[in-house]
């Protein structure tokens, strides 16, 4: 995504990570319904959630920066 502002890029990263997490939740539900082991999928979900936290922190920093007058 060329020519994105840092704020737009941070927003996109958070949005994409949230979408991945939603898909992973759905996958875990499907695997469980079908009787499959979900341990590895749950492990990946934990990693995705841990990664989202710093992305949200970065987004908040970019939002604060964008609000400050130049």
Radius of gyration of the chain (CA): 16
Q: What's residue 70's pLDDT? A: 65
Instruction: Annotate 2-68 with DSSP letters as a single string.
Output: TT--HHHHHHHHHHHHHHHHHHHHHHHHHHHHTT---HHHHHHHHHHHHHHHHHHHHHHHHHHHHHS
The pTM for the full model equals 0.86
- The pLDDT profile of the chain, 70 residues, written as one tens digit per residue, is 579 999 999 999 999 999 999 999 999 999 999 999 999 999 999 999 999 999 999 999 999 998 887 6
The domain locations on the chain are 6-67
């Amino acid at each position: 995504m060329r020519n994105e502002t840092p704020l737009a890029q941070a927003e996109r990263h958070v949005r994409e990570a949230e979408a991945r997490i939603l898909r992973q939740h759905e996958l875990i539900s499907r695997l469980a319904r079908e009787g499959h082991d979900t341990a590895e999928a749950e492990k990946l979900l934990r990693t995705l959630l841990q990664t989202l936290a710093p992305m949200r922190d970065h987004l908040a920093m970019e939002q604060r920066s964008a609000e400050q007058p130049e």
